[in-house]
Homo-oligomer: A and B are copies of this chain.
Amino acid sequence: MLRIGGEFGLKSWTRHFSLGEEGKTMKGSLKRVDAYEKVTGRAKYVADLKFPGMVEVKVLRSPYAHALIRSIDTREAMGVKGVLAVLTGKDLPGIPCRPKERPVLAREEVRYTGDGVAIVVAETEEAAALALEKIKVEYEVLPAVFDPEEALKPGAPEVHPGGNLVCQHKVRRGDIREGFKEAEIILERTYRTQRVYHAALEPEAAIAVPEPSGEITIYCPTKSPFNMRRIVAEAMGMDLNRIRIVETTIGGSFGGKDYDMAVLGARAALAAKVTGRPARIVLTREESILESTKRHPYILHYRLGAKRDGTLCALEVKAIADAGAYVSKTPLVTWRSSIEAAGPYEIPNVSIDVYGVFTNNVSSDALRGFGSPQVNFAMELLMDELAEVLGRDPLELRWQNGFREGSVAACGQVLHEVSLRECLDEVARASNWENKRKAYSQQQGLKRRGIGMACSFRGSCLGAGGEGLDAAGAAIIVHRDGSLSISTGIAEVGQGSRTAFARLITEILGVPPESLSFNPVDTSRVIDSGPTVASRGTVIGGQAIKIAAEKIRQAMAEVAGEMLGVKAEEIAFAGGRIFWRRDPSKGLSFKEVAEKCYARGVSLYSFGWYKAPDLYWDRERGQGEAYFSYVYAACCAEVEVDLETGQVQVLNFWAAHDVGNALNEREVKGQIAGGAAMGIGYALLEEVKAQEGRLLNLSYSNYLLPTTLDTGEIIPLIVEHPDPLGPLGARGLGEPATQIVAPAIINAICHALGCRLYEIPATFEKIWRVINKQEPKS
């Protein structure tokens, strides 16, 4: 949502970020490959696309959180002028969903207020909307449950047959009883995090086009084109190769546009199939907030034991995630929580249980962080409280217990290439931590400042907990004139993965970025490369790109070597030239070598395939190699709290991230800035509120997002500790950028106020109550 636009005259944005020389391409940065289209407004989002004869689709949703569908009468709706079809779950040729998953259209039962029960296909949106009102659905309302702890109790209403437990993940290390016996101080606290919305600028939208062959092409933004294809194919009863998902320019994902897009795409596909015409479905903002998945709200019970010298002895965690009405990625999200619940600290005795629980709330799914922000929030707040109790500086306590080379994580994995301390040092240095921490500890007056921090480790990519394969493919073609076309299976979700790929290719082949052109993801043209999640785009997708580029390099080096009469191993690529390393004047243009390859029949098409390393994992004890690699970060927030109103102003936010190798410095800084802004919203403003499952704030006038006035100065700090398993050493950044923002902010508020907070968002009402020691309204 936030983007750095110095080059394009958007100066008002840049003042909030420290971007080095404003308006200039930074050292090692490429322009975003899609910058020009987006900034000039030429980029076409799916809602901008028009197809001749296109029809509009509108969705009727359940008004009840839990009910049986007794009957659906579509006759009157069919009579509305311009209506072509009114379709229900029974019209789907395939299955509405896999067991316990969210149906494309519910056939018998609805499980949250938002479940789709029918669609209208009409010539215009107006006709469709009118017809929606005329569909008569007879429901039998069932008992519902909205609190995940209630949902686990015996006798609670069952969201799905077989009980409300979606999953439980355990991590067991050492001896938890012994650990607490050794402890001299034990803190036991409960934390709560809220339900938030992805809030991408672009709402969910798709257009399904029926092809003459009977196949269906769906144009849409999605972070998970292959998962979407599977769901649409199953709903339509068609083979995977007959559903083609083509990526359009995306207006943000942040973990969204996954299952939501699949459901939407399947509805559009059904409409297209039945009418034989291109069918468009574009959600309004209200519909998007109402129906789409959200970040899991968590209840986190933490019990931490430590010695007086600050050494951590034992940690017990019981975390309960509200999965909402359907499974979705809850098992994966909660698994990541279990791995990261203990934070980036050495604790010899650990017992972690993370539960995913069905309720009749809106379905929860991936949202930037994927189960980390919740546990990071709890653990980082608890660490600050422990420091307070021990009379220690929070930075010092983190230094003392934080991971270093050879540390063992709660899952028993020995860690290497650990850069946590470098990140901590960097934020401490940049923020002038020591002085400010001291200065703000002795304040008077109605406006008080505070400084707080948080740090994290995060598993790279999908890890051992998923069923999904962590692999990706990419294809590169060098054309006769030396220009390149690149196809990848990794959807660009706006985070700039294309630009990172461009950097890898330009680095390896020495070609200018202008010579590259990226094809949109097309599921019939590229191999399933998994979703753009888990900050894996640059890492896994980049490795595939790197392999493909290196194959091309090898082929061209051999031909160039022959042309120049030198060894292929001594050939270098740079500046659009291919030359002898020992005498760069002896060289050829990239184009000349490309032409020669064509003339000789040397293929300049290459396919790269990268699979993440295999991991050992003991699911029962939660021990093993959870991820093949980890990334480290530390953040520091400086805030000012108005004691009269409870309002918090973020003054400065420092974020140090080990990105391994900043493939594009500007993009990296943009990611950090965007992630910080998002985390600030999570900390202070954002919450999707619900009453008996019914969502209360369906617009941006009551679902508050941070603006640039709320984010203060964001100072990205780049740490580069190369990851041997990343492409050119690069590490993922998408989620780290946001996951520890909230605890840093809240710790800073606590520092300013000299009191503790245990839940987010820390709205000014809540802070006012804390200041004035009032109980919250129930």
Interface residues of A (CB under 8 A from B): 34, 36-37, 42-44, 50-52, 212-215, 230, 233, 239-242, 249, 469-471, 473, 475, 477, 479-481, 483-485, 487, 515-517, 519, 522, 524-528, 598-601, 603-607, 609, 611-612
Are the CB atoms of A479 and B601 closer together than 8 Å?
no
A487 to chain B, nearest CB (A): 6
- Known contacts A242-B483, A527-B605; 13 additional CB pairs below 8 A are A34-B213, A51-B52, A239-B515, A241-B479, A241-B517, A242-B517, A477-B526, A487-B525, A517-B524, A527-B604, A601-B611, A601-B612, A607-B607
Are the CB atoms of B517 and A601 closer together than 8 Å?
no
Q: A601–B517 Cα gap in the complex (Å)?
A: 28
A228 to chain B, nearest CB (A): 13
- Copy number of this protein in the oligomer? 2
Are the CB atoms of B479 and A528 closer together than 8 Å?
yes
> Knowing A37-B212, A37-B213, A607-B605 touch, does A240 contact B528 (C-beta < 8 A)?
no
- Chain B residues, Cβ within 8 Å of A471: 601, 603
A468 to chain B, nearest CB (A): 9
Q: A213–B34 Cα gap in the complex (Å)?
A: 8
> Knowing A240-B480, A473-B603 touch, does A525 contact B517 (C-beta < 8 A)?
no
- Chain B residues, Cβ within 8 Å of A515: 239, 241
Q: A527–B469 Cα gap in the complex (Å)?
A: 28
- Chain B residues, Cβ within 8 Å of A240: 479-481, 483
Which residue in B36, B51, B479, B605 is a CB contact (below 8 Å) of A473?
B605
Are the CB atoms of A527 and B609 closer together than 8 Å?
no
A545 to chain B, nearest CB (A): 14
Are the CB atoms of A469 and B605 closer together than 8 Å?
no
Give A213's nearest chain B residue, CB to CB. B37
A161 to chain B, nearest CB (A): 27
6 tightest A-B CB contacts, nearest first: A601-B611, A241-B483, A239-B483, A50-B52, A527-B605, A240-B479
Q: A553–B233 Cα gap in the complex (Å)?
A: 25
Are the CB atoms of B528 and A598 closer together than 8 Å?
yes
Are the CB atoms of B527 and A525 closer together than 8 Å?
no
- Chain B residues, Cβ within 8 Å of A517: 213, 215, 239, 241-242, 524
Are the CB atoms of A469 and B599 closer together than 8 Å?
yes
30 A-B residue pairs with Cβ-Cβ distance under 8 Å, sorted by A, are A36-B213, A36-B214, A50-B52, A213-B517, A215-B517, A239-B515, A240-B481, A241-B477, A241-B479, A241-B485, A241-B516, A469-B599, A471-B601, A471-B603, A473-B603, A475-B607, A477-B526, A480-B528, A485-B524, A485-B525, A487-B525, A519-B524, A519-B525, A527-B603, A527-B605, A528-B598, A601-B612, A605-B609, A606-B607, A607-B607
Are the CB atoms of A524 and B213 closer together than 8 Å?
no
- Chain B residues, Cβ within 8 Å of A607: 475, 603, 605-607
A156 to chain B, nearest CB (A): 35
Q: A240–B604 Cα gap in the complex (Å)?
A: 14
Q: A477–B50 Cα gap in the complex (Å)?
A: 30
A620 to chain B, nearest CB (A): 21
Give A484's nearest chain B residue, CB to CB. B241
- Chain B residues, Cβ within 8 Å of A612: 601
Q: A484–B239 Cα gap in the complex (Å)?
A: 9
> Knowing A480-B528, A524-B519 touch, does A212 contact B44 (C-beta < 8 A)?
yes
